[in-house]
């Protein structure tokens, strides 16, 4: 068996995707080791989730730093000694600057509640409803210096049904997210998915379109 994938998970709030990753590790379906859960909010419930499973935690509050660059430098100083294979953004509500992204190039993953490139940014459920979409979804992508603009690795979609509101879409999206992140991480750990200088390959072939994982 290959060695566990070393992860650092960054959160800002509830941490439900963190919990899905923890559950997959403990169930034996994901061969990974979470070396640290880091939050920028001291009251993030995800910190409690991590502590319940004996996972190390750290709070670095962005409000304690005079600039985004200073905050990013503090993140780097904390994370680099851990030598994570991947930085997993799981509801981390801060935009990371170019120096941080460059230090972990090709190794930062983010999950976004839309079918990128559609609906970048916030409030995607309401915007999809207002846009009259028939489907919405989830994307996991590599993080680059541009917001929600890195190569998309995996997508899943679900139907928008008559009467659905933003809360309904969020519930559907979360169910899908909680399957997608552990699955993608396991593919990375197995070598089925490889990333080299932003060149992504799946089963030895260049990835020309996002992989799919639908309900």
Query: Quick one: average pLDDT of 145-153?
Result: 84
Query: Quick one: average pLDDT of 105-125?
Result: 95
Query: Quick one: average pLDDT of 86-90?
Result: 98
3-state secondary structure of 109: strand
141 is catalytic: no
Strands 199-202 and 193-196: antiparallel
Q: Which domain holds residue 42?
A: 5-212
Which of 53, 62, 112, 136 is catalytic? The answer is 112
* Rounded percentage of the chain residues whose pLDDT exceeds 70: 98
Residue 1 in this model has a pLDDT that exceeds 60: no
**C-alpha dihedral sign at 180, 208, 149, 61:** positive
Counting the structural domains of the chain, the total is 1
Rg (CA), the chain: 17
Query: Quick one: average pLDDT of 127-145?
Result: 95
pLDDT of residue 116: 95
pTM of the predicted structure, to 2 decimals: 0.95
CATH number at residue 117: 3.40.50.170
pLDDT confidence band for 147 (50 / 70 / 90): confident
Q: What is the number of other CB atoms lying within 10 angstroms of the CB of residue 24?
A: 20
pLDDT of residue 149: 78
């Amino acid at each position: 068996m290959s060695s566990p994938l070393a992860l650092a998970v960054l959160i800002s709030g509830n941490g439900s995707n963190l919990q899905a990753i923890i559950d997959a590790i403990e169930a034996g379906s994901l061969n990974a080791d979470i070396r640290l859960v880091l939050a920028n909010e001291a009251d993030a419930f995800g910190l409690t989730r991590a502590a319940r499973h004996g996972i190390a935690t750290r709070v670095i509050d962005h409000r304690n730093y005079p600039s985004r660059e200073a905050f990013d430098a503090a993140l780097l100083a904390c994370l680099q000694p851990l030598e994570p294979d991947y930085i997993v953004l799981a509801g981390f509500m801060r935009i990371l600057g170019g120096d941080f992204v460059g230090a972990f190039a090709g190794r930062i993953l983010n999950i976004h509640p839309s079918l990128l490139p559609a609906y970048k940014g916030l409030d995607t459920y309401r915007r999809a409803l207002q846009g009259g979409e028939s489907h919405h979804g989830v994307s996991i992508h590599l993080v680059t210096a541009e917001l929600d603009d890195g190569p998309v690795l995996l997508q899943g979609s679900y139907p928008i049904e008559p009467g659905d509101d933003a809360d309904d879409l969020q519930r559907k999206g979360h169910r899908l997210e909680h399957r997608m992140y552990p699955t993608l991480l396991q593919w990375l750990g197995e070598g089925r998915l490889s990333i080299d200088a932003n060149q992504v390959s799946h089963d030895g072939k260049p990835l020309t379109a996002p992989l799919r994982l639908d309900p």
